Amino acid sequence: MLELKHELKLAKTRDEKARMNFVSGLRAHVLNDMATGMRTVYEGDVEPGFRRSAGRTPKDGPEVHKAIKPNEYFKFYSSLRVTAQDMVWQSVFPPLERNRGALKSKATALAKTKRRERRAEHGSLTLQPGFEVPRYVSAIDVHLMAGNYDGEYEANDLAAGALYDNGLAVFSFGLMGQNLDDIGQSIAGFIRLKYPHLKPKKILDLGCTIGHNTGSWRDQFPAAEVHGIDVAAPCLRYAYARAEAQGRAIHFTQMNAEALDFPDASFDVVFSSMFLHEIPQKGIANIMREAFRVLRPGGLMLHMELPPNSQLSAYDAFYLDWDSAYNNEPFYKPFRDLKPEELCRKAGFDPKKYVQFVIPSVGWYGEKVWSESATQPRDVDNDKTGRLTDGILWYCFGAWK
Amino acid sequence: MSAARTTSSKGASKPKAKVKPKAKAKAKPTAVADTPSRQPMRRTIRGGRPYFFADPAIDKLLNMLVVLGSEVWTLRERLAALEAIQIRQGGLAAGELDAHEFSAEDESRLAAERKEFIDSLFRILQEQVEEARRR
């Protein structure tokens, strides 16, 4: 298990740590070893069977899914993956439940410290009374996380944020970086390297949850004013305290990315990570239009996401869509079925200004390989693109305005 | 929805799903007294979970097995911590635990406890035998 490095991390007993270590190890086994095993079973057994009866290979992810579903290895892989996913959150609940009061006091103290120190720059938290959380967030427990991002149990609650932060540390088995910021560090850093002329004054992170990837933009572009928005109040409360604990000045606001409360042409970079796949298609179109609206001419919109089905092999498409079928991710496949270039075009972006990148994780590959990628583009079609596995490559797409 | 079967939470276990946005949310977190009687966080998943085997009992048993595996691992880590502390404090020499031989008396007590452990592990099969014996 990855130990978070910031002040808000939960105090755990020896046994609680051991349980988390076990779940992380189990996830690594399922997502590395068993995933490799399943591919071998598919190629050696399932696909030849399909070819014999159909006279061709499966044409897309759903055909692979249908063919592999009766296979026993698939059943064990899937059943163990669901169990591991559930155990991720279950391993966090006991220490979290015990620490809820302490966590709240810490968060309050951090906010006070900030006021006392009167730092030249500091962040802020703005919640909207009576804010309406969209049903696609309020009605489901995404990736089997009971309570989802927005669940609240008392006034000024931030437990859901802590559940997500500490759960993600177990879930990611080290692949998301020391403070779960590998996506942010890899991508914000890549953009700084690739576009040295870019000097953003204002940066916006959409659907930022606990701000774990928002902070990287602040690190890479220290002169920029960085904003993070989300619909979930408990995540934002936690994000603000987390950023303050890490000494990062970030402005968190409760807002729906489909209807941003920012003026036209007010940001130089609009970013999101692991966000669009949680939104129904209609909402995605609204979000893209809003991103276009709030961007200044010459600004960059960039979404870190799962790679689209149109750019992957049938097997890899099936593999990534597993979550949509079995991990309470109803909008995951519908998003991956969309073509990113078209999404950008329909939002008003010039198709000639479309960009997409496959960026090696800086934590996994190290600075050298990672920085070389700024000048050496990689193909999307790779079984490491967007897949939580050893050697992960982050995918992102977007456009210049 | 996927073709996998799911269970839905119905009746008594119906979770309080619709969390309303807080009307009283303020711009900044304020100090709130720690209420010991706070409502516990919900741990059941809305929408249930998928099952993959012909009989969902197999998925459930697999889950139990893995949870048990987790507890076995937890004990091992705890034992390793205990051993490391003992060695650090001089109560145990490095390698002493591995070299340890039980006395004849300890050995015989452990053998009886082991038998009891194995019997209880397979008690469920013994039930069938006892039912047959009663007939």
Same domain, A74 and A154: yes
Write down the pLDDT at residue B3.
Answer: 40
Cβ neighbours of B50 in A, within 8 Å? 78, 82, 325-326
Beta-bridge mates of residue A256: none
Report the Cα B106 to chain-centroid distance in Å.
30
CATH number at residue A226: 3.40.50.150
Same domain, A307 and A359: yes
Write down the pLDDT at residue B130.
Answer: 81
Say which residues have a Cβ less than 8 Å from residue A358's Cβ, sequence separation at least 6: A373, A377, A378, A379, A380, A382, A385, A393, A394, A395
The verdict on a CB contact (< 8 Å) between B44 and A146 is yes
CB of A325 less than 8 A from some CB of B: yes
The verdict on a CB contact (< 8 Å) between A133 and B21 is yes
The verdict on a CB contact (< 8 Å) between A158 and B28 is no
Q: How many separate domains does chain A show? A: 2
Q: How far is B135 from chain A (nearest CA, A)?
A: 39
In this prediction, the residues of chain B whose per-residue pLDDT falls under 70 are 1-36
Mutation test of the interface with chain A: which of B46, B51, B67, B76, choosing the one with the most A Cβ atoms within 10 A?
Answer: B46
Torsions phi, psi of A302, nearest 5?
-145, 125
- Are A12 and A95 contacting, i.e. CB atoms less than 8 angstroms apart? yes
The verdict on a CB contact (< 8 Å) between A79 and B58 is yes
Cβ neighbours of A21 in B, within 8 Å? 73, 77
Same domain, A62 and A25: yes
Q: Which amino acid is at B121?
A: L
Write down the pLDDT at residue B1.
Answer: 36
Does A97 reside within a domain? Answer: yes
The verdict on a CB contact (< 8 Å) between A132 and B21 is yes
Q: How far is B124 from chain A (nearest CA, A)?
A: 25
Same domain, A114 and A242: no
Same domain, A302 and A358: yes
Cβ neighbours of B61 in A, within 8 Å? none
Does A105 reside within a domain? Answer: yes
Q: How far is A303 from chain B (nearest CA, A)?
A: 26
Q: What is the DSSP letter of A11?
A: P
Same domain, A353 and A378: yes
Could you tell me which of A238, A180, A158 has the C-alpha nearest to residue A3?
A: A180
Helix (H, G, I), strand (E, B) or coil at A141: coil
Q: How far is A397 from chain B (nearest CA, A)?
A: 28
Same domain, A155 and A199: no
Does A124 reside within a domain? Answer: no
Does A27 reside within a domain? Answer: yes
The verdict on a CB contact (< 8 Å) between B19 and A152 is yes
Q: How far is B133 from chain A (nearest CA, A)?
A: 38
Q: CA-CA distance, A401 to A52, in Å (whole number)? A: 50
Does A368 reside within a domain? Answer: yes
Does A2 reside within a domain? Answer: no
**Residue A153: exposed, middle, or buried by beta-carbon count in 10 A (0-12, 13-18, 19+)?**
middle
Q: How far is A110 from chain B (nearest CA, A)?
A: 10
Same domain, A182 and A158: no
Q: How far is B130 from chain A (nearest CA, A)?
A: 34
Last residue of a domain, one of A110, A141, A163: A163
Tokens, residue A72: 């026993």
Same domain, A156 and A269: no
The verdict on a CB contact (< 8 Å) between B35 and A154 is yes
- Are A133 and B27 contacting, i.e. CB atoms less than 8 angstroms apart? no
Q: How far is B122 from chain A (nearest CA, A)?
A: 24
Tell me how many helices (H) and strands (E) chain B has: 4, 2
Cβ neighbours of A159 in B, within 8 Å? 41
The verdict on a CB contact (< 8 Å) between B25 and A325 is no
- Are A373 and A360 contacting, i.e. CB atoms less than 8 angstroms apart? yes
Cβ neighbours of A30 in B, within 8 Å? none
Q: Where are the alpha helices (DSSP H) in B1-135?
A: 56-88, 96-99, 104-121, 123-134
Same domain, A207 and A339: yes
Write down the pLDDT at residue A112.
Answer: 75
- Are A358 and A393 contacting, i.e. CB atoms less than 8 angstroms apart? yes
Same domain, A83 and A180: no
Tokens, residue A225: 């004013």
CB of B79 less than 8 A from some CB of A: no
Does A8 reside within a domain? Answer: no
- The enclosing H or E element of A251 equals strand A251-254
The verdict on a CB contact (< 8 Å) between A23 and B41 is no
Same domain, A144 and A264: no
Mutation test of the interface with chain A: which of B70, B77, B85, choosing the one with the most A Cβ atoms within 10 A?
Answer: B70
- Are A65 and A318 contacting, i.e. CB atoms less than 8 angstroms apart? yes
The verdict on a CB contact (< 8 Å) between B40 and A154 is no
Q: Which domain holds residue A67?
A: 14-119+133-163
The verdict on a CB contact (< 8 Å) between A79 and B59 is yes
Does A388 reside within a domain? Answer: yes
- Each of the 401 residues of chain A gets a pLDDT tens digit; together they read 678 989 999 999 999 999 999 999 999 999 999 999 999 999 999 999 999 999 999 999 999 999 999 999 999 999 999 999 999 999 999 999 999 999 999 998 987 775 555 555 789 999 999 999 999 999 999 999 999 999 999 999 999 999 999 999 999 988 999 899 999 999 999 999 999 999 999 999 999 999 999 999 999 999 999 999 999 999 999 999 999 999 899 999 999 999 999 999 999 999 999 999 999 999 999 999 999 999 999 999 999 999 999 999 999 999 999 999 999 999 999 999 999 999 999 999 999 999 999 999 999 999 999 999 999 888 888 889 988 889 999 999 999 99
The verdict on a CB contact (< 8 Å) between B25 and A69 is no
Tokens, residue A165: 């932060």
Mutation test of the interface with chain A: which of B5, B7, B30, B52, choosing the one with the most A Cβ atoms within 10 A?
Answer: B52
Order the strands of the A251-254 sheet from edge to edge: A124-126, A251-254, A225-230, A202-206, A267-273, A295-305, A393-400, A354-360
A 142-161 residues inside an 8 A Cβ radius of B: 144-147, 150-156, 158-159
CB of B19 less than 8 A from some CB of A: yes
Write down the pLDDT at residue B36.
Answer: 58
The verdict on a CB contact (< 8 Å) between A79 and B52 is yes
ipTM: 0.82
Write down the pLDDT at residue B33.
Answer: 45
Q: CA-CA distance, B117 to A241, in Å (whole number)? A: 49
Write down the pLDDT at residue A31.
Answer: 94
